[in-house]
Amino acid sequence: MVHRPTDRPFSRRGLLLAAGGVLTAPAVAQSPQALVDYHAHIDAVGTLEALLEISRSKGVKFGVVEHAGNREKHRYRGLLGSDQDLEGYIARLEGKPCFKGIQAEGLDWMKSFSKRAVARLDYVLSDALTFPEKDGSLVRLWTPEARIDDPRDFMERYTAFNVQVIESEPIDILANPLFLPEALEKQAESLWTQERMQRIARAAAANRVAIEINSRYRLPSPKFLKLARAAGVRFSFGSNAHGPAVGSLDYGREMVKELGLTGRDLFSPAPAGRKPVQVRAPR
């Protein structure tokens, strides 16, 4: 990415960090510029210009993500469904003081795009919240359509699906990690057993997929973050706010302090030629 004079609100320190530089823990916690919100949706505020204005005023650099995938299966406004869509989107963001990303939808999103087009992005983020039920139907776990009859059976399938998302898609970041449908939220502590958490952490480490520290849902738990860090996983910050809270990374800041995260623990976009879509073999 090209750094222009308009990048100035993001200090050199922030840029160094974004480029993979190492900061001490206090520096990360005290320097809001050092934090990047890699989960900033344009629909949070309507236009890209308004979004970048919030980025400037909050002193938080944004990684902008637009939903991307099969248009027949995923009905998001502004969804990118082809190389042509992706190229138009990239052109809109070109030269702007933000990273260019997508939120990939469904396991089959790569079928809608060429590798060459995806490699022009700074990064790809995805999550496991659109969950394939036994009958093949897709259930949006954050909506009331998520009805869980057997929590244990669900957890086994959901853990496996998280691992599948990490292993089979050429993604940089797993967003909304360890999210649970509302009905199960209160049992999160017991449902996320050490063994289930380990499976996800190990898959992320082995595939070099970063885990998002999500301020909207205050996820994942410090317990999981510690375990993932020990496995060698890196972290990104995300607001996933569809409103003015975009760029608010309170939970991320808390976790930086609680875990003493340093620049070394944090995600930065892979350079050209080393993007997951370029280096990971399709499964």
**Cβ proximity to Zn ion, 122 vs 229, nearer residue:** 122
Count of residues in contact with Zn ion, rule CB under 5 A: 2
Evaluate whether 224 touches 197 at the Cβ level (below 8 Å): yes
Does 55 contact Zn ion by CB under 5 A? no
Does 162 contact Zn ion by CB under 5 A? no
Per-residue x/- track, 6-25, Zn ion (CB under 5 A): --------------------
> Nearest distance from residue 179's CB to Zn ion, in Å?
11
Tell me which residue has tokens 């659109």.
130
For residue 92, the cross-strand partners are none
Burial 194-232 (b: 16+ CB within 10 A, else e): eebbbbbbbbbbebbbbbbbbbbbebbbeebbebbbebe
> Nearest distance from residue 175's CB to Zn ion, in Å?
6
Q: Can you tell me which of 126, 162, 236, 240 binds Zn ion, judged by CB under 5 A?
A: 240
> Nearest distance from residue 65's CB to Zn ion, in Å?
6
List binders of Zn ion among 89-108 (CB under 5 A). Answer: 103
For residue 162, the cross-strand partners are none
CA angle, residues 78, 84, 86, in degrees to nearest 5: 55
**Cβ proximity to Zn ion, 163 vs 173, nearer residue:** 173
Helices 222-231 and 194-206: angle between axes, nearest 10 degrees: 40
Does 248 contact Zn ion by CB under 5 A? no
**Cβ proximity to Zn ion, 51 vs 205, nearer residue:** 51
> Nearest distance from residue 129's CB to Zn ion, in Å?
9
Name residues whose C-beta falls within 8 Å of residue 119's C-beta, 6 or more positions apart in sequence.
272, 275, 277, 278
- Position of minimal CB gap to Zn ion: 240
**Cβ proximity to Zn ion, 103 vs 159, nearer residue:** 103
The site for Zn ion (CB under 5 A) is made up of 103, 240
